[in-house]
Structure 1
Amino acid sequence: MLTNRQISIFKAIVDEFTRTAEPVGSKRLMDLLEFTCSSATIRNEMAALEDVGLLEKTHTSSGRIPSSKGYRFYVEHLMEKQLDEGVKNSLQEVFKERHYSMDEIVKKSCDILSQMTSLTSVVLGPESKYQTLQHIQLFPLTERSAVAVFITDHGHTENKTFHFNTEVSIDDIKTCCNLLNDKLSGTPINEVVERMQEIEPLLASHVARHEVLFEAFVSAFMKFATEHVYCSGKTNMLYQPEFADIEKLKELMKMLEDSSLFRQIANHEGNMAIEIGGENELIHMNDVAVVSSKFKVNDNEEGELMIVGPTRMQYSRVVALMEYMSKVLEDLYRQEEV
């Protein structure tokens, strides 16, 4: 059980380290605390906080920094969410004009989060396993390329450009498209590739260059089923002191390139997550923290916002911003259904 003085000292260290990225010493705390306390007393309290695992001592300074356990304690018990009305009004203004598609809104949300936090943001769109293929339209561009438009039962559309390694006739493209519509309509998106394997003999008997078209469609559907992960602000990590170490930065960039990893994080595979009230959670992995917030798309589907950054981040502002952004997205999806 921490005393009020220990809590005040701990909170001051978290706030100051979050702001400066520099270990906090007893002399600095004497200026930050709202009560008078000797340097020796503060050092004793810092040692006690270190003993319970909330603080760590660095090798390069006599100051202390919060530990992962300390950040979790701060987020669970001490954090005060902060988001001023000006920010809320700015976000509302961005989406006021309804000329954006829902896909564009999701991507724009991702960009806004990264800009306002100076961190990396990720948005996971609804998983395709809840959607079924409704219709395919194919538009030839040249004899070696075409654009396909996939439409789901939820009205979601996806455009994919095909580049064939050999010439394909317009008749073959039309025949292939008609067969796929006939055999695949109503199939869950994540089962389309498997279903295509079953109908490949049928394509072979009706389409001259079936193998070229088959390969192109399989590739497009695999992307369609897995690509609903948008990432923005990766370069923001270059300016974080924690990733000045090139090896750490390489590991982080590798993580940000792996879209499947974010699905695993969302499902808490191999990670400990703590709830930050409601639909918000915090996950720590090595020197990286991921704050996530879910948003409902409809009764059956939900997406997820994530902020990825160093464990030293302004949790109070990040969490408040994500909570508000989630509500904005839910309202926009609700309007889309009306």
Structure 2
Amino acid sequence: MLTPRRIEIFKAIVDEFVQTAEPVGSKTLMEKYQLPYSSATIRNDMMVLEEMGLLEKTHTSSGRVPSTKGYKFYCEHLMEHKLEHQLEVAVRQQLASKPLNLDDAIRESCNILSQMTNLTSGVLGPDASRQRLEHVKLFPISNRSAVAVFITDLGHTENRTFQFDDDLSVEDIQTCCQILNDRLKGTLIKDVVDKMDSIKPILAAHVKRHEMLFQAFVNAFVKFASENVYFSGQNNMLYQPEFADIEKLKELMAMMENPSLWRQIGMTANSELALKMNKNAQLVWVNDMAVVTSKFKLGGDEEGQLMVFGPSRMDYDRIVSLLELVSQSIESLYGKGGSHE
């Protein structure tokens, strides 16, 4: 049974372990947290909390550490949303002070999160699998370079810069775009690359340097259709004691190279190891690692997702509040009706 005293002891253990990464014993709780209970009482309650699955005992110490179930209980019932007012003002000013385009603002948000949490942050762009190609525009920069702009039916745009080995005429570029728009409009982004093969003979009949343009567009569409993900602060993981194990660090790095995995993590709200918060945040625990996510809307059906991830031993109170603040700031600045819309 969870009595007020056991909850007080449990919360102190979580707070102490988050700060030190060291198993917590009854002596520390009595001296540092000045709990008004005897050492025997605290040890007995720690045993009960362990039996309930909220604490775990390590092999190297008589102290206890929070379990994944314990972290989930803490975040659901004991977490305090805390964020210093000065920090809140600083974050809002940093995002609002620069006339950034949306992509740059989202990347800057990731950088802010990784710097302020000392963890790794990431962002998932809008899911292109549901979107259809609306229009392609190609703007020549020189005889050997051009910028392509892809626009979807949901208003999402992607830019790609092409570098060519040989000179291309403006006429070839314009003809290529016209053929792509005529043949690909309304095609699901994920199906565009497959459909390009049927267009190749048409390009060959009307465009002199068709091979070069064809390959450039195929490469661009492959990148557009793939999951759009950006990470910041990967090196922060090197300073977390939980990732001193090189095998665990390799496993984490492999996860970062699998963008679709992160979108799946964001869709596990009903999992036993997931917790949906009151506002926009969600927490998921995977292999002794915690992933905190928060979605932001950009108008229409478009949305992105910010995330902070690291060891389960993290300052949830501060990180959840900070993530929600940054997510809401992006919405207010770049969402529908935002000042940078």
Structure 1 range deviating more: 250-259 or 68-77: 250-259
Please state how far the C-alpha of 1:331 moved relative to its aligned partner: 0.6
Task: Give matches, 1:21-60, under 5 Å.
Answer: 21-60=21-60
Does the residue aligned with 1:324 lie in a helix, a strand or coil?
A: helix
Please state how far the C-alpha of 1:131 moved relative to its aligned partner: 5.6
Equivalent position amino acid for 2:166 in 1: E
Please state how far the C-alpha of 1:135 moved relative to its aligned partner: 2.9
Please state how far the C-alpha of 1:337 moved relative to its aligned partner: 7.8
Q: Which residue of 1 aligns with 2:316?
A: 315
Question: Aligned equivalents of 1:167 and 1:304: distance in 2?
Answer: 40
Q: Which residue of 1 aligns with 2:87?
A: 87
Q: Which residue of 2 aligns with 1:14?
A: 14
Taking structure 1 as the reference length, the TM-score comes to: 0.91
Q: Is the 8 A contact 1:294 1:303 kept in 2?
A: yes
Structure 1 range deviating more: 191-200 or 316-325: 191-200
Question: Aligned equivalents of 1:181 and 1:309: distance in 2?
Answer: 44
Q: Which residue of 1 aligns with 2:244?
A: 244
Question: Aligned equivalents of 1:97 and 1:227: distance in 2?
Answer: 29
How many residue pairs get aligned? The number is: 336
Runs of 5+ consecutive residues of structure 1 not aligned to the other structure? none
Q: Which residue of 2 aligns with 1:331?
A: 332
Equivalent position amino acid for 2:326 in 1: M
Task: Give matches, 1:83-122, under 5 Å.
Answer: 83-97=83-97, 99-122=99-122
Does the residue aligned with 2:140 lie in a helix, a strand or coil?
A: strand
Question: Aligned equivalents of 1:284 and 1:273: distance in 2?
Answer: 6
**Cα gap change, 1:168 to 1:184, in 2 (>3 Å):** farther
Does the residue aligned with 1:37 lie in a helix, a strand or coil?
A: coil
Q: Is the 8 A contact 1:193 1:221 kept in 2?
A: yes
Question: Aligned equivalents of 2:340 and 2:30: distance in 1?
Answer: 56
Please state how far the C-alpha of 1:80 moved relative to its aligned partner: 0.7
Runs of 5+ consecutive residues of structure 2 not aligned to the other structure? none
> In the alignment, does 2:208 pair up with 1:232?
no
Equivalent position amino acid for 1:65 in 2: V
Equivalent position amino acid for 1:229 in 2: V
Taking structure 2 as the reference length, the TM-score comes to: 0.90
Q: CA RMSD in A?
A: 2.3
Question: Aligned equivalents of 2:224 and 2:339: distance in 1?
Answer: 22
Does the residue aligned with 1:114 lie in a helix, a strand or coil?
A: helix
**Cα gap change, 1:248 to 1:297, in 2 (>3 Å):** same
> In the alignment, does 2:258 pair up with 1:258?
yes
Q: Is the 8 A contact 1:234 1:256 kept in 2?
A: no
Does the residue aligned with 1:65 lie in a helix, a strand or coil?
A: strand
Q: Is the 8 A contact 1:110 1:232 kept in 2?
A: yes
> In the alignment, does 2:274 pair up with 1:273?
yes
Does the residue aligned with 2:96 lie in a helix, a strand or coil?
A: coil
Q: Is the 8 A contact 2:136 2:177 kept in 1?
A: no
Equivalent position amino acid for 2:312 in 1: T
Equivalent position amino acid for 1:230 in 2: Y
Question: Aligned equivalents of 2:218 and 2:134: distance in 1?
Answer: 14
Identity in percent? 55
Structure 1 range deviating more: 167-176 or 112-121: 167-176
Question: Aligned equivalents of 1:174 and 1:132: distance in 2?
Answer: 18
